[in-house]
Amino acid sequence: MQLKDKVCLVTGSSRGIGKAIALALAHEGARVAVTYHTQESEAMETLNEISQCSLIQVDVSNEEAVARMIRETVKTFGTIDILINNAGIHRDSISWKMDKEIWKEVLATNLTGPFLCTKHVLPVMREKGWGRIINISSVIGEIGLAGASNYAASKSGLVGFTKAVAREVADKHITVNCVSYGYMNAGMNLRLPEENRQKALQNIPLKRFGTLEEATGPVVFLCTDAASYITGQTIHVNGGYYL
């Protein structure tokens, strides 16, 4: 129960890695605000698995909606201790054929979304003088992927964003870190064609995809007091993936 009574807000937590993170935090005693954009039925399933939980529908690219989400969470639980910026989408296309709207849509959710959530949660954390913010990135932001320049740019941008905000709020005992995932047995990886999955597997020294337990462990650790001297860092959870 390392996070007993801590209030955690996890964006995009109706399914996949986001759901696994929400469940792992709850297992450590946290009270969790689960959010979703369109997957209401899956979000309800997550809600039913956590005893101290609230459910909020939100589009993280919409600032008014994000501000409302923060207000509702504080109203329900009294505060917010931990923010996990997990919500993300991909809309693939080769760069010279990519419509600008597809580029904007991915950046709006994957990069502007974490900015807006961070912007509106920081006054709560700064007032109490404690907080944890964890941004969920991807190995694609480090190595790139043909057909996913928008996704790669958004995930790479999260690393720089993490480092900058960590410097801004360190004096208030708020840490800001990033967890960058490789190919896990969850989320977008499960929706890839099998041919792509097998090609990725050849570049993983551990010769397997990561498990949900392996995905959530570093996130839980960064939320605890044991990680209080770690900020502005990116933890790579990818089995040694290379290209």
Indicate which residue of 36, 151, 181, 183 is catalytic. Answer: 151
Ordered alpha helix ranges (H), the chain: 16-27, 40-48, 63-77, 100-107, 113-128, 140-143, 149-169, 194-201, 212-223
What's the rounded Cα separation, in Å, for the pair 206 and 238? 9
What are the phi and psi torsion angles at 85 (to 5°)? -85, 90
The token pair at 214 is: 């392996």
Both tokens of residue 190? 């499960």
Note if 151 is an active site residue: yes
Return the structure tokens found at 186: 């969850």
Q: Which tokens sit at 11? A: 């964006």
Q: Are 141 and 93 in contact (CB under 8 A)?
A: no
Cα gap 158→177, rounded to integer Å: 10
The closest of 85, 37, 32 to 57, measured between CA atoms, is: 37
Q: How many CA within 13 A on the CB side of residue 45?
A: 9
Query: Where in the sequence numbering do the catalytic residues fall?
Result: 151
